[in-house]
């Protein structure tokens, strides 16, 4: 069977994910996996997923987004609302599946709607508008009050009392207090499954005709337009898919932790920038790199817990050093010169 | 009458955004990098003033002046050092995003360093402006001293920067570097030196902005600069990237819009409204209020 | 460049594998030693080598670090005192704290880290959303959890979780009642943080409770965490509506800004706060004249004159260089409450975590504790404490009982 370089490359990516999954499963089965590590697995998968989504937007489409956690937020809230309402009515398997469909669909819808104005802009102007939308989503959800009672759904943007719930009513989304008590349906296997699906979607997109069109727009949109590529259509396509995948990360997020609040530390621009850090450090346009970088950078502060209050300080230094080592033209030049005569293995070691 | 009161409140807030945005746009417009650590330079400036004026509290006005001057100098040095260590190695990197991420690293570093040195609890900052301001209409309308001082200082900085950039050699060099680094080098301009000067000025402005920010809103914590930094970024983009008067106008507009939307629409949704207006402005005018439209070439 | 990218991705791959392995094996090996430890402990418990392991969780970095540090420091202080005095039931106590950055997800990570360390009893999490998320895990592991300051209603929804502080609804209702009973105002304005669980929780209940009281809510204005510097609009609206009392169900940092800004605009209503307001007098360099006449319902006042408070404040200040706030007081009480409950049931550290939890659950509803935050505290099986909020008023830079 003929296998071109790209297919091989993609298979390596899937292989790494599957191998990582198997290693963890073996460790878990033999009881070698600590609770701490066990708890980090699902977050690692959803951060890897949203990093892949953002890389599609930043690396492949070439548009800087610093509001991607907004889509994650939408996916998380819509799916958690569904799961909470249906908690006793549908068994957990199909319920979680439908929650995924809802979360992804709504995130994609918002990706599409937001994409219409956003993608007309360029460069930093575009970036700031994505930031703006991320903040708008967060702020609006914080003012959402949805409750359900025997008469059906009640909705308000003011406060809980405006809902006029009956005494048997329950709050679904309670403003800043968000959603509590979402069923904990997510696990590592589902997380890895979703990660693999999003990798298949993104990698196939990149290697398809559509993907080449998208990258042509990134490299030179005027030339692409001149070659007959429908710029708007392809930009929207990539942006919507990216939003949908971010939404699926949100679904995993909300079904892994029982409290969901639309606060800055989860869905604000800071969180979005954190994802951008994963993407840039893993390599812009390098999908596999995003997965790996997301895992490493999510693990890093956790592994530094022993340093107590110096933890985040050390983390920031490591981040700066890693960026300079990986990206500085001078360092790259120096590395090339110094290690030109050595074997591949040594290079790897030194880079580390 | 109440509308005027709110407008003046908006002006107070906007003047603070404007003065931060002036420093922000210096670095942003010339070095073409989003310095996410700019807000944290402001924070450093505030802590320096807080510590020194605390130590010199017996010396009255002199103590404050010394504190502000030292803070300006130290912030400049911090800006130069940061640029040298963290940003310069990444000049010419394959992607402009690399330096953005490093700036985030610097921002985390400064915040966490301040957290370790000064602790997490807020400190109350004694205003460097003791003037109470002026009242109109029998005390019903009041403009605070710090607002007037901030606007005057912003205008002075604006004029100085415009003169500096348009009339001096170094200023022209900055414009050239902003336009095209390669061509600037060919014209005999020392790009590294020029960008270093840009950072020195930008960070000095951060110290001044910090002194005024904390005089108007006297709570000092390691995260005091983070949100104003982002707001200044928004103001700079709103005004048009690279335009110094644009940054000033952007800041004032942002402050007034924020206050008026809180007043007349919803205090709960004011963030969403402010950002919504930003989106609308940029859709109508995709390069900001005073931004230049650059013709793209293939 | 392409070649380099290849090298990078190869490096990243190898780094990931090593990181995964290292990440998995390192704590895994600690986990194994941990799992052996209790086993050894069981064997050696006769010679008194076993210890109780108490863990605490809170935001030690980030914008909320002041609360997490207060909780973790005070718990540490209490543990040291207990150890110096001979421990609990004759056993020493080991203590460990973890950072959650005010992030529910990180709080669960912190919990798991502490579990690997061998924690038997949890003091935490410090904040509501984190505490709720962690309670899901403590419930699954049947570990006893006593949150010093998780005040949202849902924090104690499981039977293994108890709290030291008042619940948010409780505070909202108590505030409304207090204002009504003492005829403090006829027109009330509210300024609250709509992005904060604690603040909006209290505000909701206060508003509900105020419906049939002798005062009217004339303005209810929000701010958000991202927009917590300028309060001119919220104050102006309260002033224009003629509010003679402004209810501030918020923390003292924002409150100190509100007081400053109210002063510059010559607006002088009665400001009425809740327990989050405690700490305002110890903000470094704050002009306490601005807080003159501020009333608050708080269980703890750092300048109270009873021996317990005086000693606590003195020791805390010596050790950490700060005046403790009510978070610290809640956490300090939490550790002593655990001690009392452990002693009531003669619990020993060689018992399993689940057995300790069962014993403590039983003890909590029986004991009557006395501490910094109340002279008499008892608990319902639901996890709610019974204690009276104290109203204090600030006079000449100090708290004075309002009665």
Mutation target among B15, B147, B219 for the C interface, most CBs of C within 10 A: B219
- Let me know if B285 is exposed, middle or buried by CB neighbors in 10 A (0-12, 13-18, 19+): middle
Together in a domain, A180 and A89: yes
C223/C230 Cα distance (integer angstroms):
9
Together in a domain, A329 and A280: no
For C306-335, how does the pLDDT look when each residue is reduced to its tens digit (9 = 90+)?
899 999 999 999 999 888 888 999 999 999
Residues of A within 8 A of B275 (CB-CB) are 131-133, 135-136, 139
Which domain covers residue C47, as residue numbers? Answer: 1-165+304-388
B217 interfaces chain C, CB cutoff of 8 Å: yes
pLDDT band with cut points at 50, 70 and 90 for residue B295: low
E strands present in chain A: 145-149, 152-156, 170-174, 179-180, 259-260
C197 interfaces chain A, CB cutoff of 8 Å: yes
Whether the per-residue pLDDT at B207 is higher than 80: the answer is yes
Please report the pLDDT score of residue C20 as a whole number.
43
Together in a domain, A74 and A121: yes
Are C125 and C138 within 8 A, CB to CB?
no
Mean pLDDT of B118-137: 83
A187 interfaces chain C, CB cutoff of 8 Å: no
Please report the pLDDT score of residue B271 as a whole number.
85
Under an 8 A CB cutoff, do B227 and C234 touch?
A: no
Q: Chain A: give the shortest CA distance to residue B56, in Å.
A: 30
- Let me know if A44 is exposed, middle or buried by CB neighbors in 10 A (0-12, 13-18, 19+): buried
B282 interfaces chain A, CB cutoff of 8 Å: yes
Q: Please identify, among C249, C264, C297, the residue that sits at the C-terminal boundary of a domain.
A: C297
Residues of A within 8 A of B86 (CB-CB) are 320, 324
For C223-247, how does the pLDDT look when each residue is reduced to its tens digit (9 = 90+)?
988 888 889 899 999 999 999 999 9
Among A204, A193, A238, A200, smallest CA distance to A100 is for A193
Which domain covers residue A185, as residue numbers? Answer: 42-296
Of residues B201 and B1, the one with the higher pLDDT is B201
Q: Chain A: give the shortest CA distance to residue B151, in Å.
A: 26
Which chain C residue shows the shortest CA-CA distance from A267? C103
In a domain, C211, yes or no: yes
In a domain, C402, yes or no: no
Together in a domain, A151 and A198: yes
Together in a domain, C141 and C15: yes
Together in a domain, A117 and A222: yes
Together in a domain, C327 and C372: yes
C364/C384 Cα distance (integer angstroms):
10
Q: Chain B: give the shortest CA distance to residue C359, in Å.
A: 37
Please report the pLDDT score of residue C403 as a whole number.
64
Please report the pLDDT score of residue A343 as a whole number.
52
Q: What contacts C141, CB < 8 A, 6 or more positions away?
A: C115, C353, C354
Angle at C376 between CA C375 and CA C379, to 5 degrees: 145
Please report the pLDDT score of residue C18 as a whole number.
45
Residues of B within 8 A of C63 (CB-CB) are 221, 223
C9 interfaces chain A, CB cutoff of 8 Å: yes
Which ipTM was obtained for this model? 0.89
Which of A 317-336 lie inside 8 A of C, CB atoms? 326, 332, 336
Q: Chain C: give the shortest CA distance to residue B259, in Å.
A: 7
Task: Say which of B89, B109, B283 has its CB closest to residue A117.
Answer: B283
Are C99 and C106 within 8 A, CB to CB?
yes
Place of tokens 């817990």: A305
Count of domains forming chain C: 2
Give chains near B: 3+ CB pairs under 8 A: A, C
Together in a domain, C292 and C313: no
In a domain, A322, yes or no: yes
Phi, psi dihedrals of residue B110, rounded to the nearest 5°: -65, -40
Please report the pLDDT score of residue B5 as a whole number.
85
E strands present in C59-175: 92-99, 121-123, 144-147, 161-163
Of residues A45 and B146, the one with the higher pLDDT is A45
Together in a domain, C320 and C365: yes
For B37-77, how does the pLDDT look when each residue is reduced to its tens digit (9 = 90+)?
999 999 999 999 999 988 887 777 888 899 999 999 999 99
Under an 8 A CB cutoff, do A35 and C196 touch?
A: no
Q: Chain A: give the shortest CA distance to residue C99, in Å.
A: 8
Which of B 91-120 lie inside 8 A of C, CB atoms? 94, 112, 115, 119-120
B266 interfaces chain A, CB cutoff of 8 Å: yes
* Ranges A190-199, B91-100, B121-130, most confident: A190-199
Together in a domain, A46 and A156: yes
Residues of B within 8 A of A113 (CB-CB) are none
Show pLDDT as tens, one digit a residue, over chain A (352 residues).
566 888 888 999 999 999 999 999 999 999 888 999 999 999 999 999 999 999 999 999 999 998 999 999 999 999 999 999 998 888 989 999 999 999 999 999 999 999 999 998 888 888 889 999 999 999 999 888 888 888 888 888 877 777 777 777 788 888 888 898 889 899 999 999 999 999 999 999 999 999 999 999 999 889 999 999 999 999 999 999 999 999 999 999 999 988 899 988 899 888 998 999 999 989 899 999 999 999 999 999 999 888 877 888 999 999 999 899 988 888 888 888 887 766 544 444 433 3
Show pLDDT as tens, one digit a residue, over chain C (403 residues).
444 444 444 444 444 444 444 444 343 333 333 333 343 333 333 345 689 999 999 999 887 888 999 999 999 999 999 999 999 999 999 999 999 988 999 999 999 999 999 999 999 899 998 999 999 999 999 999 999 999 988 899 999 999 999 888 888 999 999 999 998 899 999 999 988 888 988 998 899 899 888 999 999 999 988 888 889 899 999 999 999 999 999 988 899 999 999 988 889 999 999 988 888 888 888 888 898 989 988 888 887 888 999 999 999 999 998 888 889 999 999 999 999 999 999 999 999 999 999 999 999 999 999 999 888 899 999 999 998 777 888 888 888 877 6
B234 interfaces chain A, CB cutoff of 8 Å: yes
Strand pairing of C378-379 and C51-58? unpaired
Q: Please identify, among C238, C262, C297, the residue that sits at the C-terminal boundary of a domain.
A: C297
Q: Chain C: give the shortest CA distance to residue A119, in Å.
A: 26
């Amino acid at each position: 069977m003929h296998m071109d370089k790209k297919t091989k490359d993609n298979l390596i990516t899937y292989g790494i994910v599957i191998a990582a999954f198997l290693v963890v499963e073996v460790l878990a089965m033999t009881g070698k996996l600590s609770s701490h590590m066990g708890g980090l697995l699902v977050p690692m998968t959803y951060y890897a997923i949203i990093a892949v989504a953002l890389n599609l937007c930043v690396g492949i489409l070439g548009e800087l987004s610093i509001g991607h956690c907004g889509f994650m937020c939408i996916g998380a809230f819509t799916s958690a609302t569904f799961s909470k309402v249906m908690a006793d009515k549908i068994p957990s398997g199909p319920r979680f599946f439908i929650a995924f469909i809802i979360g992804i669909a709504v995130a994609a819808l918002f990706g599409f709607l937001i994409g219409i104005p956003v993608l007309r802009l360029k460069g930093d102007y575009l970036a700031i508008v994505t930031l703006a939308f991320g903040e708008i989503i967060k702020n609006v959800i914080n003012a959402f009050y949805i409750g359900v009672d025997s008469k059906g759904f009640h909705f308000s943007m003011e406060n809980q009392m405006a809902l006029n719930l009956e005494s048997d009513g329950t709050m679904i989304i309670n403003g800043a207090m968000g959603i509590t008590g979402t069923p904990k349906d997510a696990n590592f296997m589902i997380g890895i499954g979703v990660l693999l699906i999003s990798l298949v979607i993104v990698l196939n997109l990149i290697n398809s005709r559509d993907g080449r069109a998208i990258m042509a727009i990134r490299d030179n949109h005027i030339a692409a337009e001149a070659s007959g590529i429908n710029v708007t259509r392809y930009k929207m396509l990539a942006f919507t898919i990216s939003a949908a995948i971010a939404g699926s990360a949100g679904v995993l997020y909300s079904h892994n932790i029982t409290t969901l609040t639309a606060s800055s530390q989860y869905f604000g621009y800071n969180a979005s920038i954190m994802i951008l850090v994963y993407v840039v450090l893993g390599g812009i346009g390098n999908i596999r790199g995003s997965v790996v970088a997301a895992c490493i950078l999510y693990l890093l502060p956790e592994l530094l817990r022993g340093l107590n209050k110096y933890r985040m300080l050390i983390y920031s230094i490591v981040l700066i050093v890693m960026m300079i080592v990986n990206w500085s033209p001078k360092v790259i030049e120096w590395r090339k010169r110094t290690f030109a005569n050595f074997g591949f293995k040594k290079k790897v070691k030194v880079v580390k | 009458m109440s509308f005027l009161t709110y407008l003046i409140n908006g002006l107070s807030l906007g003047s603070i955004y404007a003065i931060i945005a002036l420093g922000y746009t210096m670095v942003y417009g010339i070095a073409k990098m989003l310095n996410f650590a700019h807000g944290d330079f402001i924070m450093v400036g505030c802590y320096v003033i807080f510590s020194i004026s605390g130590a010199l509290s017996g010396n009255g006005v002199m103590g404050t002046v010394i504190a502000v001057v030292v803070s300006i100098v130290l912030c400049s040095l911090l800006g130069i050092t940061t640029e040298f260590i963290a940003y310069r190695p990444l000049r010419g990197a394959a992607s402009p995003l690399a330096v953005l991420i490093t700036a985030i690293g610097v921002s985390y570093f400064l915040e966490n360093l301040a957290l370790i040195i000064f602790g997490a609890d807020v400190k109350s900052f004694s205003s460097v402006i003791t003037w109470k301001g002026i009242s109109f209409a029998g005390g019903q309308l009041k403009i605070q001293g710090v607002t007037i001082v901030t606007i005057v200082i912003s205008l002075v900085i604006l004029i100085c920067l415009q003169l500096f950039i348009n009339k001096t050699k170094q200023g022209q060099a900055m414009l050239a570097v902003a336009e095209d680094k390669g061509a600037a080098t060919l014209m005999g301009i020392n790009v590294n030196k020029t960008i270093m000067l840009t950072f020195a000025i930008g960070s000095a402005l951060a110290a001044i902005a910090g002194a005024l920010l904390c005089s108007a809103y006297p709570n000092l914590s390691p995260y005091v600069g983070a949100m104003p930094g982002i707001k200044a970024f928004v103001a700079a983009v709103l005004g048009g990237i690279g335009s110094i008067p644009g940054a000033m106008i952007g800041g004032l507009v942002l402050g007034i819009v924020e206050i008026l939307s809180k007043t007349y629409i919803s205090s709960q949704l004011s963030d969403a409204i402010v950002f919504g207006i930003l989106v609308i402005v940029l859709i109508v005018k995709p390069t900001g209020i005073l931004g230049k439209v650059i013709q793209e070439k293939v | 460049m392409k070649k380099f990218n290849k090298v990078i991705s190869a490096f990243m791959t190898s780094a990931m594998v090593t990181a995964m392995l290292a990440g998995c094996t390192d704590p895994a090996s600690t986990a194994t030693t941990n799992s052996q430890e209790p086993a050894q402990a069981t064997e050696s418990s006769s010679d008194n080598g076993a210890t109780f392991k108490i863990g605490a969780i809170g935001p030690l970095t980030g914008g909320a670090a002041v609360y997490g540090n207060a909780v973790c420091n005070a718990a540490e202080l209490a543990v040291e005192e207990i150890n110096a005095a001979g421990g609990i039931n004759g056993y020493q106590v080991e203590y460990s704290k973890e950072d959650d950055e005010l992030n529910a997800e990180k709080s669960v990570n912190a919990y798991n880290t502490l579990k690997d360390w061998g924690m038997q009893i949890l003091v935490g999490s410090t904040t509501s959303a984190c505490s709720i998320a962690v309670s899901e895990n403590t419930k699954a592991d049947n570990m006893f959890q006593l949150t010093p300051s998780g005040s949202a209603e849902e924090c104690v929804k499981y039977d293994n979780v108890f709290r030291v502080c008042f619940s948010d609804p409780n505070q909202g209702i108590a505030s409304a009642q207090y204002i009504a009973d003492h005829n403090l105002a006829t027109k009330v304005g509210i300024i609250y943080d709509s992005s904060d669980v604690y603040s909006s929780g209290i505000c909701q209940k206060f508003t509900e409770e105020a419906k049939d009281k002798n005062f009217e809510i004339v303005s209810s204005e929000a701010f958000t965490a991202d927009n917590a510097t300028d309060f001119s609009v919220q104050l102006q609206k309260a002033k224009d509506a003629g509010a003679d009392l402004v209810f501030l169900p918020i923390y003292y940092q924002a409150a100190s800004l509100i007081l400053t800004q109210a002063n510059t605009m010559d607006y002088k209503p009665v400001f009425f706060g809740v327990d989050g307001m405690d700490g305002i007098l110890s903000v470094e360099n704050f002009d306490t004249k601005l807080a003159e006449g501020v009333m608050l319902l708080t269980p703890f006042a750092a300048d109270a004159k009873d021996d317990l408070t005086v000693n606590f404040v003195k020791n805390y200040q010596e050790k950490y260089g700060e005046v403790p706030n009510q978070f610290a007081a809640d956490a300090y009480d939490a550790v002593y409450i655990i001690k009392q409950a452990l002693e009531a049931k003669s619990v020993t550290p060689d018992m399993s975590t689940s057995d300790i939890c069962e014993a403590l659950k039983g003890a909590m509803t029986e004991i009557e504790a006395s501490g910094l935050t109340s002279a008499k505290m008892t608990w319902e099986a639901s996890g709610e404490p019974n204690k009276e909020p104290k109203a204090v008023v600030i006079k000449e830079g100090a708290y004075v009982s309002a009665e």
